[in-house]
Amino acid sequence: MEIFKLKVYRYDPTKDSEPYYRTYELPVEKGMTVLAALFKAKEEQDPTISFRYNCRAAICGSCAMRINGHATLACKVQITHLLEKYDTDTITVDPIGNVKPLKDLIYDMDWLVDKLKRVKPWFIPKEPPPADGTEYRQDPYDHHRIDFASDCILCASCMSDCNALKANKDFLGPMVHSKAYRFIADTRDGEKQERFEAILEDLNLEWCVRCVECTTRCPKEVQPYENIIRLRIMAAEAGYKTPGEIHAEIFEQDIYNRGLLNEMLLPMRQEGILGAIKRAPFGIKMMLKGKVNYADFFGGHKIKRLEEVQKIYEVAKQKEKEVKIKLPQIMGVIYEDKRKTRKRPNYAETGGNE
Amino acid sequence: MAELKYAFYTGCSAKGVAPELYNSTKLVADKLGMELIELEAATCCGAGAVQEKDEFLALTINARNLALAEELGLDLLTICNTCTLMLRETKFKLDNDPELKEAVNEVLKEAGLEYKGTSEVTHFLWEVIDGVGLDRLKEMVVRPLKEFNIAPFYGCHIIRPPYLIGYEDPDNPKSIEMIIEAVGGNPVDHTARLACCGFHSFWSAEDKVTLRLTAMDAESAKEEKADFMVTPCPLCHTQLDAMQEEAEERIGVKLGIPVLHLPQMIGLAIGFKPKELGLEKHVISTEEIIRKVA
């Protein structure tokens, strides 16, 4: 019988001065999930292991934990797949990251709830329901825009592996921003400004580093990263002039005027003359290393066929209002290219979705 | 052997702050038998910035970039993670939404262009493995990097999100390690191997997020006693190399870990001189590496 090791993070602050790992040896059973393995270890070897769970079917969001370093639902991933994926005999289970562990795999949820409250994660209608007694109505495309975001089960897998949150615990995090998107993008909602102010306080929305861990971890196709990008578009449309918005304008102008970004003049245009002075020592350092393209100070070179780009701008800007871009369906999708000759280094056939 | 010919999409960094990446890519690709036809009419990919303001314009501009590769009948090869993601995202959206593709083509038509969807978007890293092949690369190694402990730094957009990238498992990628081993080096596992350099929130959260991540990344490689880090992305490189001293200031610890572009590392092993590969253009000194390979 094949055996694997389940290495579990253990910590009881009432007894332990430090967290530690305890390893349980279990038989490999086809179809066994990590959650089932935890039950087996608890029932047969150690009744003191503590973890949260409920539905066992990837619906309730209770059993998120870090499995071999990446957050997911313990009820959604199978032992046999993980052993193959990591080419190992050991499955390591930690509490989700970026939170305060309370006991073993159980973490403090209050901190997450407090963050959520700041964006008022509930529907606040902008007008009373129709007088004829029917429900609030919505255009199917408008509903489509919030469809995926509505599927969030608050498991916090995205919060666990978020790089911006790792750097700074004041970041609201992908779960919270994504929840804000779900209501700001809802055509029936009436509290947009208040929510915008909450997510843009101290530019919080723009702390996101676009590492895309959140969308990669999400077990429910909520697309938190994409929702953050959609929120930034909506914030710009609502007239918020943030550094991100200024940055986007510079890129748009440079593509129109020359094709490529003018990196040399970027700091000046991004932050003004004071910014340029602040960045001067860095600029000098780059010059001394031969990393500066001096021609860019005088506009630099233009790409070939730039007139095509300028024509595209003209036409696209007129047309964009009538184009309804659909949100991507991403569950289980791996966008590989069509060339059949490729050998992949190591990709489990499920691509991580089971 | 199949012909290795690509439409070469340089991106802005290689033409701006990372000239050493542009030069080393051309030298190394040529020696490895990859023919790069530079797309001199290509624009910036929008880098996620234009995408945050004007989604349709960003898609159309990148559809043009893809159409330029299609004109040549070649796959498009990038040397930047974010360019890779932006172009693959465009392709994914257009290939999966016929109405959007039609709308984009109506715009492109005015400029005399058409997006068909016939060229794939690939990255230099992947083509060294799938095009050149690791066996062939090993045969070409004249100066194995055996005394070097090398910390891979993937950078986000070469692995995530898997629905757009999909080259390898984002939880446990191996491509850079495979190349490090092929050139005779010792890949070093470290906690920031798959982490973010912080680049994309620089202008909004330089102190609050960006430099903190940069410091953690460099510390992570340092802790595992890496001689240098290697990355396939010029944005990660700018952040980890050019901004490393700023990150050090924030944490009050001197790290000084050199960061090489992927083609520079390969170049050292297949016989190019450090100077040819532009190693002296780095902010964090590469002298120790230059001394050892001499």
- Chain A residue with CA closest to B155: the answer is A211
Give the side-chain half-sphere CA count within 13 A for B205. 29
Work out the minimum CA distance from A5 to partner chain B, whole angstroms.
19
Residues in chain A within 8 Å Cβ distance of B44: 251, 254-255, 259-261
Task: Kindly determine whether residue B53 and residue A346, on different chains, have CB atoms separated by under 8 Å.
Answer: no
pTM: 0.96
Work out the minimum CA distance from B31 to partner chain A, whole angstroms.
22
Instruction: Give the pair of three-digit tokens for residue B142.
Output: 């004249």
Instruction: Kindly state whether A213 is in contact with chain B, defined as any CB-CB distance less than 8 angstroms.
Output: yes
Instruction: Kindly state whether A221 is in contact with chain B, defined as any CB-CB distance less than 8 angstroms.
Output: no
- Chain B residue with CA closest to A320: the answer is B56
**What is the b/e burial string over B57-86, where b = at least 16 CB atoms within 10 angstroms of the residue's CB?**
bbbbbbbbbbbbbbeeebbbbbbbbbbbbb
B161 prior amide bond cis, ω within 30: yes
CB B143 within 8 A of CB B104: no
pLDDT of residue B201: 97
Instruction: Give the pair of three-digit tokens for residue A262.
Output: 């003018």
pLDDT of residue A337: 58
- Residue B270 has what DSSP assignment? T
**Binding-face residues of A in 8-47 toward B, CB within 8 A:** none
The residues with which A33 forms a beta bridge, in sequence order, are A78
Q: Report the candidate in A183, A176, A193, A36 with the shortest Cα–Cα distance to residue A118.
A: A176
Task: Kindly determine whether residue B19 and residue A290, on different chains, have CB atoms separated by under 8 Å.
Answer: yes
pLDDT of residue B127: 96
The residues with which B150 forms a beta bridge, in sequence order, are B187, B228
Measured CA to CA, the distance from residue B237 to residue B150 in angstroms comes to 15
pLDDT of residue A336: 61
Residues in chain A within 8 Å Cβ distance of B170: 216, 352
pLDDT of residue A62: 97
Task: Kindly determine whether residue B160 and residue A289, on different chains, have CB atoms separated by under 8 Å.
Answer: no
Per-residue pLDDT of chain B (294 residues; tens, 9 = 90+): 468 999 999 999 999 999 999 999 999 999 999 999 999 999 999 999 999 999 999 999 999 999 999 999 999 999 999 999 999 999 999 999 999 999 999 999 999 999 999 999 999 999 999 999 999 999 999 999 999 999 999 999 999 999 999 899 999 999 999 999 999 999 999 999 999 999 999 999 999 999 999 999 999 999 999 999 999 999 999 999 999 999 999 999 999 999 999 999 999 999 999 999 999 999 999 999 999 998
Task: Kindly determine whether residue A286 and residue B92, on different chains, have CB atoms separated by under 8 Å.
Answer: no
Residues in chain A within 8 Å Cβ distance of B61: 255, 309, 312
Work out the minimum CA distance from A283 to partner chain B, whole angstroms.
10
Work out the minimum CA distance from A100 to partner chain B, whole angstroms.
20
* pLDDT beneath 70: ranges in chain A: 334-354
Query: Which of B52, B243, B285 should be substituted to probe chain A, the one whose Cβ sees the most A Cβ atoms within 10 Å?
Result: B52
Q: Report the candidate in B77, B49, B21, B11 with the shortest Cα–Cα distance to residue B199.
A: B49
Measured CA to CA, the distance from residue B63 to residue B91 in angstroms comes to 7
CB B11 within 8 A of CB B44: yes
Work out the minimum CA distance from B42 to partner chain A, whole angstroms.
7
Task: Kindly determine whether residue B169 and residue A244, on different chains, have CB atoms separated by under 8 Å.
Answer: no
pLDDT of residue B2: 61
Measured CA to CA, the distance from residue A162 to residue A160 in angstroms comes to 6
Rg for chain A, CA atoms, rounded? 25
Measured CA to CA, the distance from residue A4 to residue A254 in angstroms comes to 56
- Helix spans in chain B (H): 19-31, 55-72, 81-96, 98-110, 124-127, 134-140, 175-182, 202-205, 211-223, 234-237, 244-251, 262-269, 287-293
Cβ-based neighbour number of residue A131 at 10 Å:
6
Residues in chain A within 8 Å Cβ distance of B281: 289-291
pLDDT of residue A335: 64
pLDDT of residue A338: 57
Task: Kindly determine whether residue A251 and residue B201, on different chains, have CB atoms separated by under 8 Å.
Answer: no
The alpha carbon torsion through B123, A334, B87, B19 (nearest 10 deg) reads: -30
CB A45 within 8 A of CB A87: no
Indicate the residue type of B48: G
- Chain A residue with CA closest to B213: the answer is A167
Instruction: Kindly state whether A317 is in contact with chain B, defined as any CB-CB distance less than 8 angstroms.
Output: yes
The alpha carbon torsion through A339, A343, A346, A347 (nearest 10 deg) reads: 20
Query: Which of B80, B115, B196, B237 should be substituted to probe chain A, the one whose Cβ sees the most A Cβ atoms within 10 Å?
Result: B196
Indicate the residue type of A210: R
- Residue B207 has what DSSP assignment? I
**Binding-face residues of A in 118-147 toward B, CB within 8 A:** none
Residues in chain B within 8 Å Cβ distance of A330: 161, 163
Measured CA to CA, the distance from residue B171 to residue B162 in angstroms comes to 10
Indicate the residue type of B232: P
pLDDT in tens, A196-247: 999 999 999 999 999 999 999 999 999 999 999 999 999 999 999 999 999 9
- Chain B residue with CA closest to A238: the answer is B53
Phi and psi torsions of A25, nearest 5°: -95, 130
